[in-house]
């Protein structure tokens, strides 16, 4: 009887520590027999099978933390969540991942499933972030691996530019991950990182930059700090053509954090106009659906600005 009590205690402790998720090996190690395990995980039983050899000791849909725990148990000892799964677990993105990316040592034989994408690597992280028995790579590795997993350039822009804009991850740390990480699937990540290094801070700004380059118009500075001749801060527009004194703003509430931020944006527009800056406003939708009109508007403003003396405004590059 004492032995049964110890086994029940060990099983309860394991389930409590692991979000009520347990592997077959762990359950047997806690004294549960194979027949008892099969009985609990039978159709309509109190347990359910999440993955081969991985069980959830409750009914109902698994939560994201429970899916994370199942992914790590499937990966084995020392496995670590990365990519979008790690970013969600660390609270850096809100959307839960469709699949959970797990790093395992290159020598370990594990297969991907519909829920889990296994990455065998010789570059296992030396440092991880632990939340109970769940482990995540540090943010720079998570953002880099997430960028490599995405094929749509607009998604990569939103991810990487957003990370730098919100200061979730320094640009230099992302550049280090690009240099040190795998080369496969890194082309879009490399392209977007170059955009962010030039000052681009959102996906719409990246699309705007592409449009400018296709049009052969002069390329502006992105997100510079504009100062008056006496050093007073004026504004930090999305794009700036210094010779013509033209600023462009990509107006979208989606890329501002709150109504208060939106009001501050409107205020800086007024301040720029007061300093003689020609301020242009474009929505992301207009950039996508009427690019010719956008280009014509910019070209006209550059021509108008070029006919007047250059403004006494100092432009400092965007901070990395």
Q: Give the model confidence (pLDDT) of 33-60 as tens digits.
A: 999 999 999 999 999 999 999 999 999 9
Q: Which residue segments constitute the domains of the chain, with CATH numbers given?
A: 1-60 (no CATH), 63-197 (no CATH), 203-316 (3.40.960.10)
Mean pLDDT (the chain) is 90
pTM for the model stands at 0.76
Is the model's pLDDT at 255 over the cut of 50? no
Give the confidence band of 256 by pLDDT, cuts at 50, 70, 90. Answer: very low
Tell me 57's DSSP state: S
CA–CA distance from 66 to each of 26, 44, 94, 240, 308 (Å)?
16, 20, 17, 48, 64
CA distances from residue 197 to 9, 146, 259 in whole angstroms, order as listed? 54, 19, 28
């Amino acid at each position: 009887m004492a032995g049964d009590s110890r086994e029940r205690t060990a099983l309860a402790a394991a389930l409590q520590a692991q979000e009520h998720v347990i592997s077959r090996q762990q359950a047997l190690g806690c004294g549960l027999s194979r027949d008892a395990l099969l009985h609990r995980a039978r159709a309509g039983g109190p347990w359910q099978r999440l993955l081969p050899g991985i069980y959830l000791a409750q009914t109902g849909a698994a939560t994201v933390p429970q899916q994370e725990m199942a992914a790590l148990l499937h990966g084995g000892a020392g496995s670590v969540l990365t990519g979008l799964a790690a970013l969600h677990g660390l609270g850096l993105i809100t959307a839960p991942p469709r699949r959970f990316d797990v790093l395992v040592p290159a020598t370990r034989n594990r297969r991907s499933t519909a829920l889990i994408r296994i990455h065998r690597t010789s570059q296992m992280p030396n440092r991880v972030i632990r939340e109970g028995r769940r482990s995540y790579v540090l943010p720079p590795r998570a953002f880099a691996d997430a960028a490599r997993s995405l094929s749509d350039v607009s998604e990569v822009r939103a991810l990487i530019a957003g990370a730098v804009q919100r200061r979730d991850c320094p640009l230099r740390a992302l550049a280090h991950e690009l240099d040190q990480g795998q080369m496969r699937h890194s082309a879009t990540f490399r392209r977007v990182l170059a955009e962010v290094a030039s000052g681009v801070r959102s996906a719409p700004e990246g699309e705007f930059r592409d449009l400018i380059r296709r049009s052969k118009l002069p390329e502006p500075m992105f997100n510079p700090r504009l100062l008056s001749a006496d050093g007073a801060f004026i504004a930090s527009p999305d794009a700036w053509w210094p010779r013509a004194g033209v600023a462009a703003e990509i107006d979208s509430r989606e890329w501002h954090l709150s109504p208060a931020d939106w009001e501050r944006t409107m205020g800086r527009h007024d301040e720029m106009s007061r300093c003689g800056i020609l301020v242009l406003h474009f929505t992301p939708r207009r950039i996508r659906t009427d690019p010719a009109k956008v280009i014509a508007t910019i070209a006209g403003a550059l021509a108008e600005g070029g006919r007047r003396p250059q403004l006494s405004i100092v432009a400092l590059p965007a901070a990395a």
